[in-house]
Amino acid sequence: MGTYLFLLNKLLFQNKWKLAFTILFPLFLLTVVFPFATSTVEESSIPIAWVDQEKEGFAETIGFRINEDPRIQLLHVNSKEEAIVAVRTGKVEAAFILDEQFNQHIKSGDIRKQMEWIRTSRSFLDTFVKEKVAAEVMRFALNSKAANDLQQLKRNEEDFNWEVAFQHADQYWEPEPLFQMDFVPSNSGDLEQEEAIDNLTIGLLGFWMWYTWIIFAGGLLPIYQWKEKGLLDRIRLRSGSIRAFISSFYLVQTLFYSLLFFLLITLTLTSLKVEMNAVNIYIPAFIGFISMLLLTMIVNLFIKKQSVYLMLIIIYSMLSFVFSFLAISSGFEKWWSYILPHYWFYQLML
Amino acid sequence: MLQFENVEKIMKKKRIIKNVSVQINKGESIGIVGPNGAGKSTFLKILASVLKPDSGTVFYNGVPYSKNVQDLRKQIGYIPQEIALFEELTVKDQIHFWKKAAKNMGSPTYILEMLHALGLHHVYHQKVKALSGGWKRKLNVCAGMLHNPDIILLDEPTAGVDLAAKDDLLTWLKSLHKSGKTIILISHEWDVINYLSDSIFVLQNGEILFEGPSEQLDQFEKDQLDLEENQELIKILRQRKR
Ligand SMILES: Nc1ncnc2c1ncn2[C@@H]1O[C@H](COP(=O)(O)OP(=O)(O)OP(=O)(O)O)[C@@H](O)[C@H]1O
Ligand SMILES: [Mg+2]
Whole-angstrom distance, CA of residue A79 vs CA of residue A70 = 25
pLDDT for res B142: 92
CATH number at residue B129: 3.40.50.300
> Is residue A175 located within the same domain as residue A53?
yes
Q: Which of A238, A246, A249, A304 to mutate to test the interface with B (most CBs of B within 10 A)?
A: A238
CATH number at residue A123: 3.40.1710
Q: Per-residue pLDDT tens for B22-34?
A: 999 999 999 999 9
Q: Per-residue pLDDT tens for A269-293?
A: 887 776 667 777 888 889 999 999 9
Distances (CA, A) of A311 to A218, A318, B115, B147: 11, 11, 44, 41
- CB contact (8 A) between residue B88 and residue A14: yes
Distances (CA, A) of A136 to A53, A56, A119, B70, B92: 18, 15, 20, 92, 80
Higher pLDDT, A194 or A275: A275
Q: Pairing relation of β-strands B63-64 and B207-212? A: unpaired
> Is residue A136 located within the same domain as residue A155?
yes
Whole-angstrom distance, CA of residue A155 vs CA of residue A4 = 101
Last residue of a domain, one of A166, A195, A224: A195
Distances (CA, A) of B112 to A107, B108, B166: 104, 6, 18
**Residue B175: strand pairing partners:** none
- CB contact (8 A) between residue A229 and residue B84: yes
Share of chain A above pLDDT 90, in %: 25
**Residue B184 distance to chain A (closest CA, Å):** 17
Give residue B23's domain range: 2-241
Q: Which of B60, B68, B100 to mutate to test the interface with A (most CBs of A within 10 A)?
A: B100
> What is the CB-side half-sphere exposure of residue A112 using CA atoms within 13 A?
0
> Is residue A211 located within the same domain as residue A113?
no
Q: Cite the DSSP H helix spans in chain B.
A: 40-47, 65-75, 91-101, 108-118, 133-144, 163-178, 190-196, 217-224, 231-238
> In chain B, what residues touch A229 (CB-CB under 8 Å)?
82-85
Mean pLDDT (whole number) for B82-94: 92
- CB contact (8 A) between residue A237 and residue B98: no
> Which amino acid, B10?
I
Mean predicted lDDT score pLDDT of chain A: 82
> Is residue A238 located within the same domain as residue A338?
yes
> Is residue A230 located within the same domain as residue A338?
yes
Of A26, A19, A39, A99, which Cα lies nearest the Cα of A266?
A26
> Is residue A108 located within the same domain as residue A244?
no
Whole-angstrom distance, CA of residue A333 vs CA of residue A326 = 8
**Residue A221 distance to chain B (closest CA, Å):** 14
Domain count of chain B? Answer: 1
Whole-angstrom distance, CA of residue A219 vs CA of residue A215 = 6
> Is residue A121 located within the same domain as residue A16?
no
- Contacts with A26 (C-beta within 8 Å, 6 or more apart), sequence order: A208, A211, A264
pLDDT-based confidence at residue B125 (cuts at 50, 70, 90): very high
Residue B153 CA to ligand 2 center (angstroms) comes to: 12
> In chain A, what residues touch B73 (CB-CB under 8 Å)?
237-238, 240
- By residue count, chain B amounts to 242
Ligand 1 and B232: CB distance under 6 A: no
A238 touching B, CB under 8 A? yes
Whole-angstrom distance, CA of residue A53 vs CA of residue A100 = 6
- CB contact (8 A) between residue A230 and residue B80: yes
> Is residue A215 located within the same domain as residue A333?
yes
Three-state secondary structure readout of chain A = CHHHHHHHHHHHCCCHHHHHHHHHHHHHHHHHHHHHHCCCCCCCCEEEEEECCCCCHHHHHHHHHHHHCCCEEEEEECCHHHHHHHHHCCCCCEEEEECCCHHHHHHCCCCCCCEEEEECCCCCCHHHHHHHHHHHHHHHHHHHHHHHHHHHHCCCCCCCCHHHHHHHHHHHHCCCCCCCCCCCCCHHHHHHHHHHHHHHHHHHHHHHHHHHHHHHHHHCCHHHHHHHCCHHHHHHHHHCCCHHHHHHHHHHHHHHHHHHHHHHHHHHHHHHCCCCCCHHHHHHHHHHHHHHHHHHHHHHHHCCCHHHHHHHHHHHHHHHHHHHHHHHHHCCCCHHHHHCHHHHHHHHHC
Q: Which ligand is nearest to the CA of B42?
A: 1
Could you tell me which chain A residue has the CA closest to the CA of B76?
A237
Residue to substitute in B41, B155, B188, B201 for testing ligand 1 pocket (most ligand atoms within 8 angstroms of CB): B41
Give residue A325's domain range: 2-37+198-349
Say yes or no to pLDDT of A196 above 70: no
Burial of B242 (0-12, 13-18, 19+ CB in 10 A): exposed
ipTM of this model?
A: 0.91
pLDDT-based confidence at residue B229 (cuts at 50, 70, 90): confident
pLDDT for res A195: 44
pLDDT for res A328: 78
Last residue of a domain, one of A131, A165, A195: A195
> Is residue A246 located within the same domain as residue A329?
yes
Ligand 1 and B46: CB distance under 6 A: no
> Is residue A259 located within the same domain as residue A149?
no
Q: Per-residue pLDDT tens for B34-69?
A: 999 999 999 999 999 999 999 999 999 989 998 888
> In chain A, what residues touch B97 (CB-CB under 8 Å)?
3, 6-7
Residue B216 CA to ligand 1 center (angstroms) comes to: 28
- Contacts with B10 (C-beta within 8 Å, 6 or more apart), sequence order: B16, B54
- Rounded to the nearest 10°, the torsion over CA B191, B197, B198, B201 is -100
Computed on alpha carbons and rounded to an integer, the radius of gyration of chain B in Å comes to 18
Of A281, A302, A104, which Cα lies nearest the Cα of A220?
A302
Last residue of a domain, one of A170, A195, A220: A195
Say yes or no to pLDDT of A199 above 50: yes
The three-class DSSP label of residue B15 is strand
Q: If you ran DSSP here, which 8-state letter would residue B39 be given?
A: S
Ligand 1 and B34: CB distance under 6 A: yes
- H helix count then E strand count, chain B: 9, 10
Q: Per-residue pLDDT tens for A204-251?
A: 889 999 999 999 999 999 999 999 999 999 999 988 889 999 999 999
> Is residue A293 located within the same domain as residue A344?
yes
pLDDT-based confidence at residue B2 (cuts at 50, 70, 90): very high
**Contact, A349 vs A199, CB < 8 A?**
no
Domain count of chain A? Answer: 2
**Contact, B72 vs B3, CB < 8 A?**
no
> Is residue A74 located within the same domain as residue A188?
yes
Share of chain B above pLDDT 70, in %: 99
